[in-house]
Amino acid sequence: MLIPLLLVVAVYLAMCVLVALRQRDLMYFPALTRAPANETDLTLVVEDLKLRAWVVNPGQARAIVYFGGNAESVQFNREAFAKWFPGHTVYLPAYRGYGASEGEPREAALQGDALVFFDHAASRHATVDLIGRSLGSGVAAHVASMRPVRKLALVTPFDRMASVAGHHYPWLPVERLLTERYQTAAALTGFGGEVLVVRAQRDDVVPAASTRNLIDTLPASSTRVVSLAEAGHNTVDRDPAYGESLRAFMDRDGDTR
C-alpha cells in the first residue's frame, strides 16, 4: 500500500515541477502570430531587441495603445480599429517573440516593453488611452498603474492569473507554482481614470468569477460593464456591440455611468 501511495505522490510532484518549468509554454503562443518585419509600421529597440508594431490612422491628436491576447495576431485588428477609431492613432505592438518582434515573452519584459510603447505614443499625442484584451488586460493594467491614462478598456479580463490557472488546473497548487502572475486587480488599486470592462458571457477561458472579482475592485462611479451574452472568449470581436462599446467609450467625455 505504501509503494503505490509514494508512486502517486512522486508523479504528482513531477507534474508540479513540469508545470512550473513549462508555464510560459502554457501561457504564451507566439508561434501562431509570426509576421514579416517588412510588413510592420514601427520598430522600437529595447534591450538590443527589435520590437515591432502596426500603426493605424497615423497623425491623429489622440492615441490608443492596444495590448492583445496570448495567441493574438494583433495586426488583424487594423481594419476594424481604423473604422471604430477614426479620431485616434492606434498602436498595435507585438509582444516579444510575437509578430515580427524579437526575444521571448515573459511578464516583466512584456510590462516593461508596454511602458516603452506608451511613452513613444505619449511623446507624439495629446492623450494616450489603452485597450487590453485577455492577457493584454494584465499588461494594460500595469501601464495604467505607472502612467497617466485617462481611459482603460479591458476585454475578457481577469483579476489575477492565478485565478484563471486555478480554474483550469484545480488539482495543482498554482499559487505556489506561478511566476507569471499578472495581478490586474492589484495593479488598478487607486486608478483614477475611466474603465470599460467587456466580458463574454460564454467565456470558457477566463472564469466569470475572476472577471467579477476584478469589477468589484473598481470604482462603480467610473466603471462601465458591457456583457456580450452570446460571445465566447475568442469571439467577442464578432459581436457588433463589441466595436460599438469600444468606440463609444473612447469618444465619450465625462463619467461612464
Q: What is the mean pLDDT of residues 122-139?
A: 98
pLDDT at 127 over 50: yes
First to last CA, the chain: 62
**pLDDT over 70 percentage in the chain:** 96
Global pTM value: 0.94
Task: Indicate the domain borders of the chain.
Answer: 2-251
Q: What is the mean pLDDT of residues 111-133?
A: 98
Write down the pLDDT at residue 255: 41
Q: How confident is the model at residue 1 (pLDDT cuts 50, 70, 90)?
A: low
pLDDT digits (tens, 9 = 90+) for 138-156: 999 999 999 999 999 999 9
pLDDT at 16 over 90: no
Q: Which residue shows C-alpha cell 516593453? A: 113
Instruction: Pick 2-251's CATH classification: 3.40.50.1820, 3.40.50.720, 1.10.760.10, 3.10.310.70.
Output: 3.40.50.1820
In whole angstroms, give the CA distance from residue 166 to residue 235.
Answer: 23
Q: What is the mean pLDDT of residues 243-251?
A: 97
Cell, residue 54: 502596426
In whole angstroms, give the CA distance from residue 112 to residue 13.
Answer: 33
